[in-house]
């Protein structure tokens, strides 16, 4: 079938992107689903910093590529071998498909499935190769096996999580990355206990979801850290007990003073090594850093091994919120419907496919939290 899609053809182009147009809206051919694959009509897709890291060149990928990894939609068709989905089913994408058979999947860590990592590295699906091409036959890569900045997507069955039909699917898109990564880092990776003290560094879509997860989990103190005063104000509205401007030269002293010497958990969601350093310095003895941010691939972070051992600190990576998506996406949606995770407050705007370059300008400028691209609009 032929459809419209957002194709990234150039990385690290000058800003504003609205002028340089690194993303081209093109007519693209989409092959039908093969065995174990699903064709989905996209209802909504979120603009995320992970997409931005490809556009600005921080995390290079093979090009050309159809962008988009956070989305939701309705099943249109299924490939051979699928018995648990049918046309009309609502689904949310997860951006790290699971095969269910590799050792990582079998040990209960489908978010780091080995077969998907191999397919993602070459821009394909687990069945081999790409289903995307230009009308001239040029192969287009998949983004994290999803590529939902388009009108339709063919994905592995393991990328699609069936959800109840009583949630607007454009809003449901945010559960596929921002909610799962932020809330999951708190409830799954950290296993936060009621009364624990936390600092949340970086208040974008993922960080504010982490803050909501800390509120839901009953954290005793939540210190929100960012340089954006509007986001700090929103963090207080959502339940932060204290806020600290990371641009303040005395921000570290303020964090330690507010926490009486350090927190139990420091969550790094900014995707910057400077933020990771703040997180580590914020810990009390025995505390843990949980980092879900993805800085540029050539960046590194150092720490004192003596302090790590002597103070029994720990540093935990959290990919996709350590989630089991078929379990966690439905339960997070249920918490949202019950008013426990008010993620509506994080959706800044909806945009059309043609507005996507300008949308990434706003994301890069920090003037928005989560924009949802809705492709099937005039």
CATH number, position 199: 3.40.50.720
Encoded tokens for 255 = 């964090």
In a domain, 327, yes or no: no
Are residues 189 and 165 part of one domain? Answer: no
Residue 326: inside a domain, yes or no? no
Task: Determine the pLDDT at residue 88.
Answer: 97
Q: Give the bridge partners for 28, in sequence order.
A: 3
Residue 147, CA distances (Å) to 29, 125, 232, 356, 360 in order? 13, 11, 32, 14, 16
Q: Are residues 37 and 147 in the same domain?
A: yes
Output the pLDDT for position 378.
59
Q: Are residues 116 and 192 in the same domain?
A: no
CA distances from 283 to 220, 286, 349 (A): 15, 8, 36
Instruction: Name the stretches of the chain with pLDDT < 50.
Output: none
- The verdict on residue 253 lying in a domain is yes
How many Å apart are CA 207 and CA 226, to the nearest integer?
Answer: 10
pLDDT tens column, 338-365? 999 999 999 999 999 999 999 999 999 9
Structure-block tokens of residue 31: 């092959």
Helix (H) or strand (E) holding 2: strand 2-8
Query: 162 - beta bridge partners?
Result: 91
Q: Does 112 fall in a domain?
A: yes
User: Are 31 and 141 found together in one domain?
Assistant: yes
Are the CB atoms for 285 and 311 separated by under 8 Å?
yes
* Same domain? 72 vs 144: yes
Say whether both 172 and 275 belong to one domain. Answer: no
| 184 neighbors 318 (Cβ within 8 angstroms) | yes
- 187 and 250 both lie in a single domain: yes
DSSP label at residue 150: B
The total number of structural domains that make up the chain: 2
The CATH number of whichever domain residue 357 belongs to comes to 3.90.180.10
- CA atoms of 290 and 120, how far apart (whole Å): 24
What is the Cα–Cα distance from 342 to 144, expressed in whole angstroms?
27
In terms of residue numbers, what domain contains 132?
Answer: 2-176+342-373
**Does 378 map to a domain?**
no
What is the spatial distance between Cα 13 and Cα 209, in angstroms, rounded to a whole number? 30
What pLDDT score was predicted for residue 274? Answer: 94
Examine residue 337 and state whether it is found in any structural domain, yes or no. Answer: no
- Is there a single domain that holds both residue 308 and residue 366? no
pLDDT for position 97 = 87
Distances from the Cα of 184 to the Cαs of 95, 202, 232, 320, in angstroms? 14, 16, 21, 7
- Are the C-beta atoms of residues 41 and 152 closer than 8 Å to each other? yes
Q: Are residues 153 and 208 in the same domain?
A: no
331 in a structural domain: no
Residues 169 and 307 occupy one common structural domain? no
CA 194 to mean position of chain CA atoms: 25
Q: What digits encode the pLDDT tens for the residues 200-258?
A: 999 999 999 999 999 999 999 999 999 999 999 999 999 999 999 999 999 999 999 99
Do 208 and 171 belong together in one domain? no
Residue 133, beta-bridge partner list: 29, 139
Domain for residue 234, yes or no? yes
What's the CA dihedral at 65, 104, 267, 297 to 10 degrees?
-40
Do 246 and 223 contact (CB within 8 A), yes or no? Answer: no
CA distance 246 to 200: 11
193 and 232 inside one domain: yes
CB 177 within 8 A of CB 217: no
Tell me how far CA of residue 359 lies from CA of 23, 68, 140, 227, in angstroms: 11, 13, 22, 21
pLDDT at 99: 87
Question: What is the distance between the alpha carbons of residues 257 and 199, in angstroms, rounded to a whole number?
Answer: 12
Asked if 142 and 93 touch (Cβ cutoff 8 Å), the reply is: no
Classified as helix, coil or strand, 88 is coil
pLDDT of residue 356: 97
Alpha carbons 260 and 220: distance in angstroms, whole number: 13
Alpha helices per DSSP H over the chain:
17-20, 49-55, 103-106, 114-121, 169-172, 178-184, 205-217, 229-238, 251-258, 273-281, 305-310, 325-337, 356-365
What's the pLDDT score for residue 142? 97
């Amino acid at each position: 079938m032929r459809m419209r899609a957002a194709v990234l053809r150039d990385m690290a182009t000058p800003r504003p992107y609205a002028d340089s147009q690194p993303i081209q809206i093109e007519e693209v051919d989409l092959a039908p689903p093969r065995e174990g694959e699903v064709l989905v009509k996209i209802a909504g897709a979120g603009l995320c910093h992970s997409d931005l890291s490809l556009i600005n060149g921080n995390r290079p990928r093979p090009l050309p590529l159809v962008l988009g990894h956070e989305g939701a939609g309705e099943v249109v068709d299924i490939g051979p071998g699928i018995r648990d989905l049918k046309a009309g089913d609502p689904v949310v994408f997860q951006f790290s498909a699971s095969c269910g058979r590799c050792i990582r999947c079998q040990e209960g860590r489908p978010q780091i499935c080995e077969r998907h990592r191999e397919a993602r590295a070459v821009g394909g699906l687990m069945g081999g190769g790409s289903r995307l091409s230009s009308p001239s036959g040029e192969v287009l890569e998949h983004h994290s096996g999803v590529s939902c900045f388009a009108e339709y997507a063919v994905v592995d069955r393991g990328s699609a999580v069936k959800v109840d039909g009583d949630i607007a699917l454009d809003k449901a898109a945010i559960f596929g990355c921002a909610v799962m990564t932020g809330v999951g880092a708190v409830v799954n990776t950290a296993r936060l206990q009621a009364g624990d003290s936390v600092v949340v560094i970086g208040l974008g879509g993922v960080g504010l979801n982490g803050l909501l997860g800390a509120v839901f989990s009953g954290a005793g103190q939540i210190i929100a850290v960012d340089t954006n005063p509007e986001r700090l104000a929103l963090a207080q509205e959502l339940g932060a007990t204290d806020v600290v401007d990371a641009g303040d030269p005395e921000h570290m002293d303020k964090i330690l003073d507010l926490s009486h010497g350090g927190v139990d958990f420091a969550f790094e969601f900014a995707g910057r090594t400077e933020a990771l350093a703040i997180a580590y310095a914020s810990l009390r003895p025995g505390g843990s850093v949980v980092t879900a941010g993805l800085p540029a691939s050539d960046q590194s972070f150092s720490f004192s091994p003596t302090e790590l051992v002597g103070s029994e600190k720990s540093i935990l990576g959290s990919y996709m919120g350590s989630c089991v998506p078929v379990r966690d996406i439905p339960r997070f949606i249920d918490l949202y419907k019950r008013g426990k995770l008010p993620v509506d407050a994080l959706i800044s705007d909806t945009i059309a496919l043609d507005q996507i370059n300008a949308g990434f300008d706003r994301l890069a400028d920090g003037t928005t939290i989560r924009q949802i691209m809705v492709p099937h609009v005039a």
